[in-house]
Amino acid sequence: MDRKERTLINYYYEKFLDNRVDEKDVYAFLILISHNRNGNSCLQELADFVVSRGTKPGVVTEYLCETKNKFANLAKMNTALKIDEVFPFKEIKNGINRVLVDLQLKGLSNEQVNDFITCLISILQQVKITENGKEIGRLFFAIASKQVMLMAEVEIVQNGGGKKTNVVFPVLTAKNNYASIKKQDKYDAPYFFEEKVIEITNQDGKLVINFVGTQQMSNTLLVSNSI
């Protein structure tokens, strides 16, 4: 790592410590730390997926396609289908902090890593999911009272038949430390933002969830049962 790269990492690291990051900072920080060999593969895979917007093959794309196929073959399975996130919180945190410790910097806290993942979720909304060059779905932003989620919606053909349907599953999740959301039902089903674009900004040291070009989410209809 050259001096300039180290200076850039220090710049974004200090913003994390001061709780001043937004999604644009996270984009740059992820690219910088993903180049460090002492991190872990999840950082490189996430960075590649972010930069390519899902147009290049990799672990994330493979995960999305494999999960789609699990749903398509659900009737043939003898066990319940469990969908894990592409990378769990602990793996992402360990990858980030391994890089920082190698640079003789203190690791990020759980809250700071949660901010990182929340911004990453926003960055990846609207990415198209492709398989064999064909679009099969899309990623989008979702939020419930307890979680912020990157959701995938994909089209499947069940059991090799001709009937098509769409399934939705979480790809990344973070704690909702940002907006007061009224539960839609007893299961705390998330609000989906398949068309609206969300932006994560920072106001007075706290992340704020915004509709692009409009007011912040906490002042919108999310406090009621309709969007």
pLDDT for the residue 224? 33
For residue 196, the tally of other CB atoms under 10 A from its CB is: 14
pLDDT at 159 over 90: no
Predicted confidence at residue 218, as pLDDT, reads 45
Q: What is the mean pLDDT of the chain?
A: 88
Q: In the structure, what pLDDT confidence band is assigned to residue 71 with cuts at 50, 70 and 90? A: confident
**29, pLDDT greater than 70:** yes
* Cα–Cα dist 93/88, whole Å: 9
How would residue 74 be classed by pLDDT, with cut points 50, 70 and 90? Answer: confident
Average pLDDT over every residue of 151-178: 87
Spatial CA neighbour of 108 closest among 120, 121, 118, 95: 95
pLDDT of residue 160: 58
- What average pLDDT does range 35-54 have in this prediction? 86
Query: 16-20, 161-165, 173-177: which range is least confident on average?
Result: 161-165
Listed by start position, the domains of the chain span 3-223
Q: What are the residue ranges of helices labelled H in the chain?
A: 3-17, 23-34, 41-52, 59-72, 89-102, 110-124
| Confidence check: pLDDT of 150 > 70 | yes
pTM, rounded to two decimals: 0.90
Q: Which is higher by pLDDT, 225 or 189? A: 189
Please tell me the distance from the alpha carbon of residue 13 to that of residue 17, in angstroms, as a whole number: 6
For the stretch 166-203, pLDDT in tens is: 899 999 999 999 998 889 889 899 999 988 899 999 99
* Both tokens assigned to 157: 């053909």
Q: Percentage of the chain with pLDDT > 90?
A: 68
pLDDT higher than 90, residue 219: no
Task: Identify the helix (H) or strand (E) that includes residue 165.
Answer: strand 164-175
Q: How far is CA 218 from CA 89, 99, 170, 201, in A?
A: 25, 34, 22, 13
